[in-house]
């Protein structure tokens, strides 16, 4: 997925022990990596808020610190290890502090996190964060909790009020991916593709719009295949058209597209839907057919350029965005 820039937190080490008897319990969440991680953090906070927790932007006063992690880049994991190590002394001074790791690194490293960082209370995988309150209660009563099963869909009744921006919001429409690009860890950490019911997505967008949202970004690890496993086989184009009919929604975007799965039906939907016609992000990853084959990307340079041309023909003025991987194994200087 496309990278998201997140703010650095205030230093957690060296904080004074909070007085938990006088204030509501507070949770601090820091997201690393993609937009899906940012959204998952919001949804985890939503579940905790149902049970009296409040979100804080100051890790120093938090009763629960959650790191929502990424495994796409090595540096992201290194930053998490550093954050966790910095909390060791604080945990010794304040044993009531809860520390949790969620997301892709939690899914991939699992037991290693608990072994290397024994002061961590909770490791929660990519499809268990919707149980966050119950997992926190278990950690408090039983000790360390490991929850990394990947079966089924994440069912979260979202509190639409919990989001960082007033007028825009992320909405998950699917999770996981059935492709096997040779460089990608997503199928291993996020599981296979599971689609969310069209009616559920539309209803969430409707509730967000009623709360002031004007721009929505649909998220999925391979969003062009949305609907593949749903009755009636709705498509991303179907979803875009349905969302465009909701009063208040002025802009629709989606991340991230795989060029092998972009069909004319999607481009037609963009052309017919002014709120969605301006932007298409679909990473090429490389411009040479031999490298694309080793990447298992399923398309050629020629096919990618054909999609570009078709998009511009269907939606004049559309902005096309891409990503490229440099230095892929076997790539020569030429």
pLDDT, tens only, 4-32: 333 333 333 333 344 455 468 999 999 88
Centroid of chain to Cα 331: 30
Residue 10 CA to residue 23 CA, distance in Å, equals: 20
Which residues are bridge partners to 103 per DSSP? Answer: 69
User: What's the pLDDT at 153?
Assistant: 60
Domain 26-147 of CATH type 3.20.20.60: no
Share of the chain above pLDDT 70, in %: 91
DSSP 138-183: HHHHHS-EEE----S-------TT--S-SSEEEEE-EE------TT
Mapping DSSP to helix (H, G, I), strand (E, B) and coil, where does residue 332 land? coil
Residue 222 CA to residue 319 CA, distance in Å, equals: 20
User: What's the pLDDT at 274?
Assistant: 85
Written as tens digits, the pLDDT of the chain (334 aa) is: 433 333 333 333 333 344 455 468 999 999 887 888 888 888 888 889 889 999 999 999 999 999 998 887 777 889 999 999 999 999 999 999 999 999 888 888 989 999 999 999 999 988 888 889 999 999 999 999 999 876 666 666 778 888 888 999 999 999 889 999 999 888 888 888 989 999 999 999 999 999 999 999 999 989 999 999 999 999 999 999 999 999 999 999 998 899 999 999 999 999 999 899 789 999 999 999 999 999 999 999 999 999 999 999 999 989 999 999 999 998 888 7
Fold of 168-321: pyruvate-formate lyase- activating enzyme (3.80.30)
Residue 9 CA to residue 59 CA, distance in Å, equals: 7
Give 88-96's long-range contacts (Cβ < 8 A, gap of 24+).
88/117, 88/119, 89/13, 89/14, 90/12, 90/13, 90/14, 90/15, 91/119, 92/119, 93/17, 94/17, 94/18, 96/20, 96/63
The domain limits of the chain are: 26-147, 168-321
Distance set, CA 66 to CA 157, 188, 193, 305 (Å) = 20, 22, 26, 42
């Amino acid at each position: 997925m496309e990278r998201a820039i997140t703010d650095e937190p205030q230093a957690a080490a060296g904080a004074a022990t909070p007085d938990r008897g006088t204030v509501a319990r507070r949770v601090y969440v820091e997201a690393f990596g993609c937009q899906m991680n940012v959204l998952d953090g919001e949804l985890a906070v939503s579940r905790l808020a149902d049970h009296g927790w409040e979100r804080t932007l100051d890790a120093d006063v938090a009763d629960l610190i959650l790191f929502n992690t990424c495994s796409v880049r090595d540096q992201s994991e290194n930053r998490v290890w550093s954050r966790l190590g910095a909390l060791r002394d604080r945990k010794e001074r304040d044993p009531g502090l809860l520390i949790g790791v969620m997301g892709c690194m939690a899914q991939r490293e699992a037991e290693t996190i608990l072994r290397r960082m024994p002061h961590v209370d909770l490791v929660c995988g990519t499809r268990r964060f919707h149980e966050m309150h119950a997992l926190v209660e278990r950690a408090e009563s039983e000790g360390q909790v490991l929850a990394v099963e990947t079966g089924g869909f994440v069912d979260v009744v979202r509190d639409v009020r919990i989001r960082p921006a007033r007028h825009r919001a992320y909405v998950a429409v699917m999770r996981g991916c059935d492709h096997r690009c040779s460089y990608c860890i997503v199928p291993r950490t996020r599981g296979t593709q599971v689609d969310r019911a069209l009616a559920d997505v539309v209803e969430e967008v409707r509730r967000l719009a009623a709360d002031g949202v004007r721009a929505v970004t649909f998220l999925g690890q391979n969003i062009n295949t949305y609907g593949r496993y749903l009755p009636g086989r709705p498509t991303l184009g179907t979803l875009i058209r349905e969302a465009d009919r909701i009063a208040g929604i002025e802009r629709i975007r989606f991340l991230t597209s795989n060029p092998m799965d972009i069909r004319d039906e999607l481009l037609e939907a963009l052309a017919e839907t002014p709120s969605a016609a301006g932007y298409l992000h679909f990473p090429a990853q490389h411009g040479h057919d031999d490298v694309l084959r080793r990447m298992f990307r399923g398309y050629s340079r020629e096919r990618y350029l054909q999609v570009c041309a078709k998009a511009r023909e269907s939606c004049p003025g559309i902005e096309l965005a891409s990503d490229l991987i440099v230095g892929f194994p076997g790539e020569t200087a030429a």
